Amino acid sequence: MFEKVLIANRGEIALRVLRACRELGIRTVVVHSSADAQTLPVRLADETVRIGPAASRRSYLNAAAIVEAARQTGAQAVHPGYGFLSEDADFAEICAANGLTFVGPPPQVMSVLADKSTARALMSKAGLPLPPGSVEPLPTAADALDVAAEVGYPVIVKAAAGGGGRGMTVVRSAAELPRAYARTRAAAQVAFGDDRVYVERYLADARHVEVQVLCDNHGNGVHLGTRDCSVQRRHQKLVEEAPAPALRQSTLDTLAETALRGVLSVGFTGAGTVEFLVDEAEQCHFLEINCRIQVEHPVTELVTGVDLVHEQLHVAAGTPLRLRQEQVRLRGVAVECRVNVEDPDRDFAPTPGRLDRFRPPGGPFTRVDTHGHAGLLVSPHYDSLLAKVAVWAPDREGALARLDRALREFEVTGPGVRTTIPFVRRVLRDPAFRAGRHTTGLVDRLLTPAAEPVTAPAVPVTAPAVPVTAPAVPTAPAVPAVRADADPAGRSPVTAAPLRST
């Protein structure tokens, strides 16, 4: 096992990884921007290094600074958390070139799976069903019109290099498609440096269901059941639960088995998530593979008893998987919600500010992952996630009641600060959600004028800022820039910021 790990992240996920390392007897190095100098991960780390100013492109996305921090402190491995550089193949390659273990899949696997068109082709070959649409990128709007005419409207135009809910446009008629095609290509070029797009049938009334997998470097793999992530705004999740409710056991088994088959076919290692859309007939359609720990991983941990971050570290250190498929047992139901510093009444616009009061909930089978505390300045520079509240109960009804109770207790206040807590409580009361029959259209339905307005006072919460990681290294003079899931500004610079150890 490693003696020292650098955590290339911030907020809640940095704290989550730090605590896992501490439990395994691993010393930690936390890199941070000047804006995060007083945050909990920095205060609890064994060593810290300031890698740049607040802007993520000059700090958390500065690969050269991150790698140099690892070299200066003697870290043997880099854990990227989620977001930012966690799925950047260039950064993983740079780590390897500098003698550092990247906690995640091999660069070549990440590179293949990051390209949605290539990933779709490989998963189709492995037997995973795809939504109707194009497998290869479409070079012209005329090609997109031909595919849309074949599969039927509505369709969705997607960036081949997209991710994190970005690079997607829903199109409901042929008249809209040429403009949407051009707009999506332009946005993809700016966000990802790659303007290739493809078109597939848009499944408006579908469930978003994913499968957690773990694979080692010795050809072994297991799945740890399903999660439902259908409650989303702007293609980003708000409520997740395990296992996915109201689906036939045969459907759950098919999802898990095909997901594991797919990742093993490309040599995947570490913790990953295979995402599907499931339609009303319970037909499953492959979406993508995420090569990192997910924000919603706590619900899987609660129903399986498996610490996914521990397993990530063991796999990265070369240890064979410590559990077999027959040892994986799902018990009860777990539900998680994200507490974001956002105003649902204003299209979930961020409302950063200083927290005057922060009192997270507690109680039996209630887990709060957060870096929040009274006095914390929720920065406008990073993701709005403040906390995750996850609960477990023997059945779904008990889990929903427990989550509602926890959210009712969660107190967060500050000038101008609003959170998603009141809106999530509305979701929990929705009849379709309570029956487990909700789809990805639930949030839009609740926000339509016919729906009652969100009038409950915003409850403050705690939650981690989006993780960070960055590419670039001293060994390679011209390090390719990297994409940042949490920073739409695009590629990070390769100039190293001055480092300061504390």
183 is catalytic: no
Q: Please, what is the end-to-end C-alpha distance for the chain in angstroms?
A: 25
Q: Is there a contact between 12 and 20 (Cβ–Cβ < 8 Å)?
A: no
Cα distance between residue 17 and residue 27, in whole Å = 11
Q: Would you call 272 helix, strand, or coil by DSSP?
A: strand
**What values do phi and psi take at 181, rounded to 5?**
-60, -50
Q: Which amino acid is at 51?
A: I
DSSP per position, 342-364 = EEGGGTTEE--EE-SEEE---ST
Q: Is there a contact between 439 and 205 (Cβ–Cβ < 8 Å)?
A: yes
CA angle 314-320-325, nearest 5°? 105
User: Shortest CA distance to 367 belongs to which of 399, 344, 340, 341?
Assistant: 399
Q: Would you call 445 helix, strand, or coil by DSSP?
A: helix
Q: Is there a contact between 464 and 371 (Cβ–Cβ < 8 Å)?
A: yes
DSSP class of 376: -
If you search the block for the tokens 């479409």, which residue do you land on?
A: 138
Q: Is there a contact between 412 and 462 (Cβ–Cβ < 8 Å)?
A: yes
**What values do phi and psi take at 304, rounded to 5?**
-110, -20
Q: Would you call 325 helix, strand, or coil by DSSP?
A: helix
Out of 292, 338, 367, 396, which one is annotated catalytic? 292
Distance (Å) of CA 334 to CA 249, 290, 320, 337, 402: 18, 21, 28, 10, 10
DSSP class of 368: E
- 209 backbone φψ class: left, alpha, beta (φ>0; ψ -120 to 50): beta
DSSP class of 266: T
Q: Is there a contact between 388 and 369 (Cβ–Cβ < 8 Å)?
A: yes
Distance (Å) of CA 193 to CA 67, 85, 161, 480, 488: 23, 15, 8, 11, 11
Q: Would you name the residues annotated as active-site residues?
A: 292
